[in-house]
Amino acid sequence: MNRRTLLTRIVQGFSVVGAGFLAYPFVKAFLPVAANEGLEVDLSGLRPGESKIVHWQGRNVFVLRRSRATFRSLEESGANLKDPDSSASTQPAFARNPGRSRIPEIFVAYANCTHLGCEVALNGNKGFVYPCHDSRFDAAGRVFKDAIASYNLQVPRYELVSKRVLRLVRG
C-alpha cells in the first residue's frame, strides 16, 4: 500500500466518523421517547416554605413547597397582577388554576424570567424576584403589574408519582 492510498483511507475514516457524529442528533430526534423518561424529584425533605432547584433540559427548575404564609400572600396579590388567570402565559392545561399547580402545596416553575431569560430568585414567602430589572412574581409565578416582564413564569410538564415524588416529563 502506498502513502497516497493510506492517507486516502485515513481521511475516509475520519469522514465516516464525523458524519456519524453529525447525524446522531437527527436520528435521535426521530426515535420514540420512553414513557417513563423524565427527572424524578424527591419532595420528602422539603418543608413548608422551602424550595429546591433542579436542573432539567438545560434549565433550572424551582420546586417550592408553599407554606400558610405563602397562601396568604397569593390571596393578597390577586388585584396587582398583569395576568392573574394565566391566559397569556405558557403552561400545561393542569396549571390553569389560581395556584398554577397540580396540588396547592407544591409549585413548579422554570427559574428563568420571561423578560430576558435571566434567573429569578426566591423572595421568601412573597414569591420570586428578577434582580436585573426588579420584576416581581407571586408564589404562583404570576407577574405583578408594575414589573417589566410581560408574562408569568413558565410551568413545565410534570406528574405526581406519589406524595413524596414528582417527575418532570418532556413535552
Convert the pLDDT of each residue in 10-31 to its tens digit: 999 999 999 999 999 888 888 7
> What residue spans define the domains of the chain?
1-31, 38-169
* Interatomic CA distance for residues 55 and 128, integer angstroms: 18
Q: Is the dihedral of CA 107, 86, 118, 134 positive or negative?
A: negative
Name the strands in the sheet holding 51-56, side by side, starting at the edge strand that comes first in the sequence.
51-56, 59-65, 106-110
pTM: 0.72
* Interatomic CA distance for residues 129 and 121, integer angstroms: 5
Cell of 167: 417527575
Contact at 8 Å (CB) between 99 and 111? no
Helix and strand totals (H; E) in the chain = 2, 9
| Block residue for cell numbers 395576568 | 83
Q: Which CATH class is domain 38-169?
A: mainly beta
Q: What would the pLDDT profile of 37-79 be if each residue is shown by its tens digit?
A: 788 888 888 888 888 989 988 888 989 888 887 777 777 666 6
Q: How far is CA 159 from the centre of its chain?
A: 13
